[in-house]
Amino acid sequence: MDEENVQRNIECIIEAEKTGSYDSINCRLSKKRRGWYEQNKAKLNLQGSDPRKAYQMVLLEYMKLNPDEVLVVFEDEKKITWKSNNWCPVLEACQRLGLDTRRICRAGWESSVQDMIELINPKLRFSRNYNLLRPHGDYCEETIELVD
Protein backbone atom coordinates (compact mmCIF):
# COMPACT_ATOMS: atom_id res chain seq x y z
CA MET A 1 0.00 0.00 0.00
CA ASP A 2 1.22 3.47 -0.88
CA GLU A 3 0.23 5.57 2.14
CA GLU A 4 1.34 8.82 0.47
CA ASN A 5 -1.02 8.17 -2.45
CA VAL A 6 -3.90 7.41 -0.07
CA GLN A 7 -3.27 10.62 1.89
CA ARG A 8 -3.11 12.69 -1.32
CA ASN A 9 -6.47 11.24 -2.39
CA ILE A 10 -7.98 11.90 1.04
CA GLU A 11 -6.90 15.55 0.84
CA CYS A 12 -8.29 15.91 -2.70
CA ILE A 13 -11.60 14.33 -1.73
CA ILE A 14 -11.97 16.50 1.39
CA GLU A 15 -11.31 19.64 -0.68
CA ALA A 16 -13.78 18.53 -3.37
CA GLU A 17 -16.41 17.78 -0.74
CA LYS A 18 -15.91 21.24 0.81
CA THR A 19 -16.24 23.04 -2.52
CA GLY A 20 -18.92 20.74 -3.90
CA SER A 21 -16.90 20.22 -7.08
CA TYR A 22 -14.59 17.48 -8.29
CA ASP A 23 -13.48 19.55 -11.31
CA SER A 24 -9.99 20.18 -9.93
CA ILE A 25 -9.39 16.42 -9.52
CA ASN A 26 -10.65 15.69 -13.02
CA CYS A 27 -8.58 18.49 -14.58
CA ARG A 28 -5.39 17.53 -12.72
CA LEU A 29 -5.72 13.85 -13.61
CA SER A 30 -6.60 14.56 -17.25
CA LYS A 31 -3.59 16.83 -17.61
CA LYS A 32 -1.30 14.28 -15.94
CA ARG A 33 -2.59 11.40 -18.10
CA ARG A 34 -2.39 13.35 -21.36
CA GLY A 35 1.13 14.47 -20.48
CA TRP A 36 2.14 10.89 -19.80
CA TYR A 37 0.69 9.85 -23.16
CA GLU A 38 2.59 12.56 -25.03
CA GLN A 39 5.86 11.48 -23.38
CA ASN A 40 5.28 7.77 -23.97
CA LYS A 41 3.22 7.38 -27.16
CA ALA A 42 6.24 6.68 -29.38
CA LYS A 43 7.30 3.69 -27.29
CA LEU A 44 3.86 2.21 -26.64
CA ASN A 45 3.37 -1.15 -28.34
CA LEU A 46 -0.42 -1.40 -28.23
CA GLN A 47 -2.03 -4.22 -30.17
CA GLY A 48 -5.52 -5.41 -31.01
CA SER A 49 -8.82 -3.58 -31.27
CA ASP A 50 -9.14 0.03 -30.12
CA PRO A 51 -10.85 -1.05 -26.85
CA ARG A 52 -7.97 -3.52 -26.24
CA LYS A 53 -5.39 -0.80 -26.97
CA ALA A 54 -7.08 1.58 -24.52
CA TYR A 55 -7.18 -1.15 -21.85
CA GLN A 56 -3.48 -1.87 -22.39
CA MET A 57 -2.55 1.81 -22.33
CA VAL A 58 -4.50 2.86 -19.22
CA LEU A 59 -4.24 -0.22 -17.03
CA LEU A 60 -1.08 -2.05 -18.06
CA GLU A 61 1.16 0.78 -19.26
CA TYR A 62 0.05 3.92 -17.38
CA MET A 63 -1.17 2.37 -14.12
CA LYS A 64 1.32 -0.54 -14.36
CA LEU A 65 -1.25 -3.02 -13.04
CA ASN A 66 -0.79 -6.77 -13.10
CA PRO A 67 -3.07 -8.30 -15.77
CA ASP A 68 -4.15 -10.91 -13.19
CA GLU A 69 -5.62 -8.07 -11.09
CA VAL A 70 -7.56 -6.57 -14.01
CA LEU A 71 -8.88 -9.77 -15.53
CA VAL A 72 -10.64 -9.45 -18.89
CA VAL A 73 -14.01 -11.22 -18.72
CA PHE A 74 -15.39 -10.20 -22.13
CA GLU A 75 -13.78 -8.98 -25.31
CA ASP A 76 -14.69 -8.50 -28.93
CA GLU A 77 -13.71 -5.91 -31.54
CA LYS A 78 -15.96 -3.23 -30.05
CA LYS A 79 -15.86 -3.88 -26.32
CA ILE A 80 -13.62 -5.04 -23.50
CA THR A 81 -14.83 -5.63 -19.93
CA TRP A 82 -12.66 -6.51 -16.96
CA LYS A 83 -12.84 -7.08 -13.21
CA SER A 84 -10.48 -4.89 -11.19
CA ASN A 85 -9.15 -6.49 -8.02
CA ASN A 86 -6.03 -4.33 -7.71
CA TRP A 87 -5.19 -2.26 -4.67
CA CYS A 88 -6.83 1.15 -5.13
CA PRO A 89 -5.89 4.34 -3.27
CA VAL A 90 -9.29 5.90 -4.00
CA LEU A 91 -11.09 2.89 -2.50
CA GLU A 92 -8.83 3.09 0.55
CA ALA A 93 -9.41 6.86 0.89
CA CYS A 94 -13.18 6.48 0.61
CA GLN A 95 -13.23 3.73 3.23
CA ARG A 96 -11.23 5.85 5.66
CA LEU A 97 -13.50 8.86 5.07
CA GLY A 98 -16.71 6.82 5.21
CA LEU A 99 -17.72 7.94 1.71
CA ASP A 100 -19.43 5.94 -1.01
CA THR A 101 -17.06 4.93 -3.81
CA ARG A 102 -19.97 4.90 -6.27
CA ARG A 103 -20.35 8.66 -5.89
CA ILE A 104 -16.69 9.59 -5.43
CA CYS A 105 -15.26 7.51 -8.30
CA ARG A 106 -17.88 8.79 -10.72
CA ALA A 107 -17.37 12.42 -9.68
CA GLY A 108 -13.58 12.52 -9.53
CA TRP A 109 -12.00 9.65 -11.41
CA GLU A 110 -14.15 8.79 -14.41
CA SER A 111 -13.75 11.69 -16.84
CA SER A 112 -9.93 11.58 -16.75
CA VAL A 113 -10.03 7.94 -17.88
CA GLN A 114 -12.46 8.95 -20.62
CA ASP A 115 -10.12 11.74 -21.72
CA MET A 116 -7.20 9.32 -21.86
CA ILE A 117 -8.90 6.60 -23.90
CA GLU A 118 -10.09 9.20 -26.42
CA LEU A 119 -6.42 9.61 -27.34
CA ILE A 120 -6.69 6.14 -28.91
CA ASN A 121 -10.06 6.83 -30.55
CA PRO A 122 -12.59 9.62 -29.77
CA LYS A 123 -15.44 7.10 -30.19
CA LEU A 124 -14.33 5.02 -27.20
CA ARG A 125 -16.44 5.21 -24.03
CA PHE A 126 -15.40 4.20 -20.52
CA SER A 127 -17.96 2.99 -17.99
CA ARG A 128 -18.21 1.22 -14.66
CA ASN A 129 -20.87 -1.07 -13.30
CA TYR A 130 -21.68 0.94 -10.18
CA ASN A 131 -23.72 -1.93 -8.73
CA LEU A 132 -20.51 -3.96 -8.38
CA LEU A 133 -18.05 -1.23 -7.42
CA ARG A 134 -15.96 -2.16 -4.38
CA PRO A 135 -16.68 -2.35 -1.50
CA HIS A 136 -20.29 -2.99 -2.61
CA GLY A 137 -19.03 -5.89 -4.72
CA ASP A 138 -16.00 -8.15 -4.77
CA TYR A 139 -14.43 -6.24 -7.68
CA CYS A 140 -14.94 -3.20 -9.89
CA GLU A 141 -16.35 -4.11 -13.29
CA GLU A 142 -15.23 -1.66 -15.95
CA THR A 143 -15.73 -1.46 -19.71
CA ILE A 144 -14.31 0.35 -22.70
CA GLU A 145 -16.59 0.29 -25.71
CA LEU A 146 -16.40 1.63 -29.25
CA VAL A 147 -19.64 3.51 -30.02
CA ASP A 148 -20.89 4.75 -33.37
Domains by residue range for the chain, with CATH: 3-146 (3.30.1380)
Looking at 43-147, list the stretches that DSSP marks H as alpha helix, in order from N- to C-terminal side.
Answer: 50-55, 89-97, 101-109, 111-117
Q: pLDDT of 90-103, one tens digit each?
A: 999 999 999 999 99
Q: pLDDT of 39-90, one tens digit each?
A: 999 999 999 999 999 999 999 999 999 999 999 999 999 999 999 999 999 9
Residues 130-136 have a mean pLDDT of: 94
Question: φ, ψ for residue 10 (rounded to 5)?
Answer: -60, -50
- Residue 127's pLDDT is 97
| Rounded-to-integer distance, Cα 119 and Cα 59, Å | 14
111 has a pLDDT exceeding 90: yes
Q: What totals of helices (H) and strands (E) does the chain contain, helices first? A: 6, 4
- Residue 1's pLDDT is 65
